Amino acid sequence: MVLILEGKPAAEAVYDRIRQELASLPEGRKLPCLAAIIVGDVAASRLYINTKIKACESVGFRSLLVELPESVTQDELLAQVQLLNDDPDVHGIIVQLPLPVQLSEAQITEAILPAKDVDGFHPFNIGKMCLGMSGLRPATPAGIITLLDHYQVQTEGRHCVVLGRSNIVGMPIAVLLSKNEPRGNATVTLCHSKTPDIQRFTREADILIAAVGIPEWVKADWIKEGAIVIDVGIHRISDTNLKKGYRVCGDVDFQEVAPKTSFITPVPGGVGLMTVAQLLKNTFYAYLALEHQHIGIINS
C-alpha cells in the first residue's frame, strides 16, 4: 500500500504548535514579524510570497512586504536589507529568489543578519547546522525532516540517495539525514551532474530525494519496490488539454513511480507546504531569540 505524504496535515501541525506557543506568551507582547523582499513582478515569485504572507496571517504573525523594481541596483537592495536588519520590530527576513541577473544572490544572502535569516541560507547558519548546533536551518531540508517525523518515517540505518547538491536543498538535507538526530542516522549518497550511472545508486535507495530541477526525470525503473520518494521539484508544464493550459509536476514522474513506493510526496501539496511551515517555525524561533523569550519551538 502506498502512503501519500501530504504536506497539509504536517504543516497544520506546525502551525497549531506555533499558535499554542504564541498564545502562552504574556499579553501585550510584540508579535513576530516576517519581512519579505520581492524584486520585479514575476508571477511565480509573487505567488510564493503571497502564500507565505497568508501563512503568517493564519498563525497571528505580522508580515511586511517590500516591493522593488526589477531595475534595482545591488547597493539599493543591500540598503533595504540593512534597514530590515536594523528594525527591532522585524524578526525574520527573506529575499524571494531568483533575483535579476544584475544582482548577486550570494552577497544578498550574506548581508542578512544571521539571527533574522529565516530561509537558513546564511553561511553562519549552514555552519551551525553542520556542527549540530541549534539555529535557523534551511527551510526546505528542515521541512522535509518535519514531514518525515510527522508520518513517523524511519530513516535510521537506511540508505538515502539525494539527487542534487545545491546549497539550498541537496547538501543540507544530506547533512541532516546523516546526523545523529531523530529522522537522521541514514547512510547518505549524494549524486550530482558528474555522477556516472546515477540509476545504479537510485535503485539501491531506501529513501530517494529528488532535487534536480528537471521535470519528471525520475522514472519507475530508477527505484526499487517499496522505496520512499521525496520530490522537491516543482514545474509548470504546458498542457493544452487542461483549461488553465498547464499542469504542475515535480522531478519525479508521479503516476509511473508512485505504485512502486511505500511513501511518496505529491507535487503540489507536499514539500512546498513544508517549506513555508518551516519558514514560519524559523521566524518564531528568531522572534523568541531576539526578544529573549523562553524558546519552546526550536530546530526540531
Distance CA 216, CA 252 (A): 4
What is the three-state SS of the chain? CCEECCHHHHHHHHHHHHHHHHHCCCCCCCCCEEEEEEECCCHHHHHHHHHHHHHHHHHCCEEEEEEECCCCCHHHHHHHHHHHHHCCCCCEEEECCCCCCCCCHHHHHHHCCHHHECCCCCHHHHHHHHCCCCCCCCHHHHHHHHHHHHCCCCCCCCEEEEECCCCCCHHHHHHHHHCCCCCCCCEEEEECCCCCCHHHHHCCCCEEEECCCCCCCECHHHCCCCEEEEECCCEEEECCCCCCCEEEECCECHHHHHHHEEEECCCCCCHHHHHHHHHHHHHHHHHHHHCCCCCCCCCC
Distance CA 131, CA 153 (A): 24
Active site residues: 52, 96, 119
Strand 261-264 to 3-4 pairing: parallel
